Amino acid sequence: MKITVKDIKGICLMAISGRIDSSNSVDLESALYKAINENSRIIIDLADAEYISSSGLRVLLAGKKMLKERDGEMILISLQPVVRDVFEIAGLARLFLIKKSLEDGLPAMKFRP
């Protein structure tokens, strides 16, 4: 798994590539919590994520909860069909705002002065 983080118009864009599973979910958790401590608006790009396990889902859910408590928000973008299926099967697709692309995700992010 590889994680890259950059700022786009005051929004944290976190791109994750490779497999997200129990062997690296601690790394994802660390990177996500660091991003949350620095920014309340996060877009997670999963275009290059090949797989996500329950441990990866747990990290994203915990991050979403943490952001909600801080009046922040998380949007997931560009999910590959296999990753989208995991969210659907787990019943989590309805809990996350999921957009097709960054171009769709940026305007969906609430404006915060």
Q: What is the pLDDT of residues 64-89, one digit of tens each?
A: 999 999 999 999 999 999 999 999 99
pLDDT of residue 63: 96
**Contacts with 61 (C-beta within 8 Å, 6 or more apart), sequence order:** 92, 95
Q: What is the pLDDT of residues 44-54, one digit of tens each?
A: 999 999 999 99
